[in-house]
Structure 1
Amino acid sequence: MDASKLKAAATSAIHVKNAAGEPLYDGEAPVRIIVHGPGSRAYGEIDTRQTARALKRMNDNDGKMTAATAEERRQEAAEDLAAVTISFEHLTYGDLTGTELFEAVYGDPQLGFIVKQVSKHLADWGNFKPASLEA
């Protein structure tokens, strides 16, 4: 089998659910978040950034492992998820657009259920199946 035909898709769409787990719609249109896949350069940059943060914390604390505060973790997660987000479909946050929109949604603690959905989706390579597999 030719492994090049097994490559994961570069992007994937997440149909956002509310806190109760019900799919969200704006009228007839699904509320979706389009993200870069775990094999993408954008996703790889997150791994690099997370490692750099951990090393900086350790260096700042005389080599001791220290955990980020809840606010720092929320902000870092918002930045990381925004970096792999391509677009929101039918999802707004005031008048914000682009990266500011993404970070505002991901950084809002009362919208944490969205962060969980996106994080879970990104962690599963099965959500990035190739468009079609030829036998």
Structure 2
Amino acid sequence: MDILSEAIADSTILHLKGADGQLLYDGPDRKPVRVHLHSPGSDAYAQIETKQTARILKRLDDNDGKRTAMSAEERLEQTAEDLADATIEWENLTLGDKTGRALSLGVYGNRKLGFIANQVSKHLADWGNSKGAPAAP
């Protein structure tokens, strides 16, 4: 068996669900609301993990090696930053006039939209979601 046949793609696509668990669609023609993400096997995702490790080490250094918990606001901000870094683009989703990274930070940094950040985190944690080429939009 050529083990490379099991390699995952560099990106993955998630069809988002609302807080009620129902798939989200936009408009009368029901376009799927999706987010395109860097997969956990990509170079871009490796950079996110490197940033996370650096933050942990800095926090330990700043606190003389003692483990300290983040505040709820720090955790929300850092999660939003990490997920924004993992996001390539949004499909059929708007938030005012925000685009690109500002849109990602606006979605992931809004506690009332936390169900989206949870879905994205869960999707990225399951490498099987990135198996093979991502589905075409």
TM over 0.5: yes
SS state of the match for residue 61, structure 2?
Answer: helix
SS state of the match for residue 9, structure 2?
Answer: coil
Residue pairs, 1:42-57, within 5 angstroms: 42-57=44-59
**Does structure 1 residue 5 correspond to structure 2 residue 5?**
yes
Matches of 1:63 and 1:7 in 2, distance apart? 38
Matches of 1:70 and 1:52 in 2, distance apart? 20
- Report how far residue 65 of structure 1 moved: 0.7
- Partner residue in 2 for 1:16: 16
**Does structure 1 residue 98 correspond to structure 2 residue 100?**
yes
Residue type at the aligned position of 1:20:
D
2:86 to 81, 84, 87: 84
SS state of the match for residue 96, structure 1?
Answer: coil
**How many residues are treated as equivalent by the alignment?**
131
**Same amino acid, percent of matched pairs:** 57
SS state of the match for residue 22, structure 1?
Answer: coil
- Partner residue in 2 for 1:38: 40
Residue type at the aligned position of 1:43:
Y
Unaligned runs of 5+ in 1: none
Residue type at the aligned position of 2:69:
A
Matches of 1:98 and 1:2 in 2, distance apart? 38
SS state of the match for residue 74, structure 2?
Answer: helix
State the superposition RMSD in angstroms.
0.8
SS state of the match for residue 35, structure 2?
Answer: strand
* TM-score normalised by the chain length of structure 2: 0.92
Cα deviation, 1:36-76, whole Å, max 9, x if unaligned, reads 10001111111111111111111111111111111001100
Structure 1 stretches of 4+ moved >4 Å? none
- Partner residue in 1 for 2:73: 71
